[in-house]
Amino acid sequence: MNLLLFNLVTDADDTVLGFTTDWLNTLSRYFSNIYVITMRSGRLKLPGNVSVYSVGKECGWSRPRRAVEFYRCLARILKRNRIDVCFAHMIPVFAVLAAPVLKANRIPIVLWYAHPTLNAILRVAHWFSTKVITSIDFAYPYKQDKVVTIGQGIDTDFFTPCADHIDLSGPRLIVAVGRISRVKQLDILLDVARLLNERNAGSIRFVLIGGPSTAADADYLKRLQKTVRSRNLGEVVQFAGAKQRQELPEWYRSATALVNLTGRGCGDKVVFEAMSCGIPVVVANEGFRTTLGVYADRFVLPDVLPATIASVIESICTLSKEERRNVGRYMRAQVMTWHSLEGLAGKLHSLCKDILITSHDGTV
């Protein structure tokens, strides 16, 4: 089975979307050939049966020129290769652009989307798609008639716990990982930091790992930094900046807990990465309930009031070593059950196979 894959960024070094390289490497074992059309390309670390075509954002090309290049790449791929299924990963605009051509060639579209933003492009992409796949409950913001939940695709061989050693002698480290953006509600986390510092001076530190992606994000970061200075939290809150993917496991392993205050409709993969490393997570998104399982009532926040969040963090900080081990083992086991990369690749392949059997003559 040959797969046409639309991707936003294909770059092993990208601090946010570098994980798509892992996806492609794993998917390459399930599909005969994969042809990738990507908005932006960088360092490629892929097997021989994966070919990448960029529309040129890394070259600074304008939107009209990128649109022309998209159709050139698509025409080149379809002329030279038999394509069975198209998988559009978090880029519905490519699905919309390609849909008339793909429909004319009887190539079904599978759309991946896991984000709260709903716009006209997504609505059109939904209409053209045979199936829509998403990571967790509530992560897809539109009609549910075509939706299949298949997990987040976490490389559990990379995001692993440290050796069975838990140090409870120093300050507890609370991390927040991901793009610095208002949707992450990091200003509330600063309120939590102030509250906990007043209660437990010097015993809990916060590290915000990530950087801004837009001008609005950069303004938000400046406001957060100003808040830290005005509240004299410089010794309590650290802005660590964006980190390369290979640096993240060590940060997770050194943390007492990860806090993610993104609301319903966004399955932040950092939550699953942290869980895969065996650390507790505190989340605001109800969509994580299934994965958190027996700990859902304890770690899914009923609200995002600073006092509520602080109370949950304090309860984690007081866990004994044995309790932390038990929580960590359960966290990792849940990710391996629901969100492993191998599991996602297998589910996607099976879904594509079923679509072909249903829509064509049964040959794959």
Quick: pLDDT tens for 341-358: 999 999 999 999 999 998
Beta strand pairing call for 50-54 and 147-149:
unpaired
Contact 35, 4 (CB under 8 A): yes
Task: Tell me the CATH number for domain 2-153+340-359.
Answer: 3.40.50.2000
**Rounded CA gap, 153 and 142, in Å?**
22
Residue 360 has a pLDDT of 60
Helices 215-230 + 186-199 axis angle, to 10: 20
Helices 306-317 + 186-199 axis angle, to 10: 60
Token pair 């549910």 is found at 144
In three-state form (DSSP H/G/I as H, E/B as E, the rest C), the secondary structure along 246-293 is HHHHHHHHHCCEEEECCCCCCCCHHHHHHHHCCCCEEECCHHHHHHHH
E strand intervals along the chain: 2-10, 33-41, 50-54, 85-89, 109-112, 131-134, 147-149, 172-177, 204-209, 237-241, 257-260, 281-283
* Bridge partners of residue 281, in order along the sequence: 258
Q: How wide is the angle at C-alpha 335 spanned by C-alphas 147 and 321, nearest 5°?
A: 150
Q: What is the pTM of this model?
A: 0.91
Residue 163 has a pLDDT of 64
Contact 280, 316 (CB under 8 A): yes
**Rounded CA gap, 50 and 3, in Å?**
10
Task: Tell me the CATH number for domain 172-338.
Answer: 3.40.50.2000
CATH topology identical between 2-153+340-359 and 172-338: yes
Residue 165 has a pLDDT of 58
- Spatial strand order of the sheet with 257-260 comes to 237-241, 204-209, 172-177, 257-260, 281-283
Residue 170 has a pLDDT of 76
- The token pair at 329 is 């083992």
- The token pair at 27 is 């998917």
Q: What dihedral do alpha carbons 248, 159, 335, 4 form, nearest 10°? A: 90
Task: Give the phi and the psi of residue 340 in degrees, each rounded to 5.
Answer: -70, 150
Low-confidence ranges of the chain (pLDDT < 50): 362-364
* Single-letter amino acid, residue 227: T
Report the sign of the C-alpha dihedral through residues 138, 139, 145, 147, in that order. Answer: negative
Domain boundaries, the chain: 2-153+340-359, 172-338
